[in-house]
Amino acid sequence: MFDFSIEFKKFIENKIEEMIDDIERKNLEYAKYRRYSTKNYEKFVEAISKLPEEERNFINEYNNSYDIRTIEREEFYYCGCRGCLKFLKLLGVI
């Protein structure tokens, strides 16, 4: 059975990835930091593993803010879609 909410979520995720790729092509500073982050991820994990447990847990919990940003980006895109549809309806296009 077709689940619209799952398919729409996949659509949004793909569009956000396309937007991030576009930002990376257009913004050299962003691209530099994204490459740095990707390149140094394993080194970061290794460094964290050497910390005392309390500090390691704090950093890992703090890094969950990435999950928050992901949720925000999806919601912003969804809000943009709704806004566009409202605008098109206001114009009488739909």
pLDDT, tens digit, 9 for 90 and up, residues 35-88:
999 999 999 999 999 999 999 999 988 888 777 888 888 888 888 888 999 999
Whether 11 has a pLDDT exceeding 80, the answer reads yes
pTM more than 0.75: no
- Neighbour count for residue 11 (Cβ, 10 Å): 13
Q: Give the pair of three-digit tokens for residue 46.
A: 């290794």
pLDDT, tens digit, 9 for 90 and up, residues 18-32:
988 999 999 999 999
- Determine the pLDDT at residue 25: 95
Question: 60-72: string of b/e by CB count within 10 Å (b at 16+)?
Answer: eeeeeeeeeeeee
Whether 5 has a pLDDT exceeding 90, the answer reads no
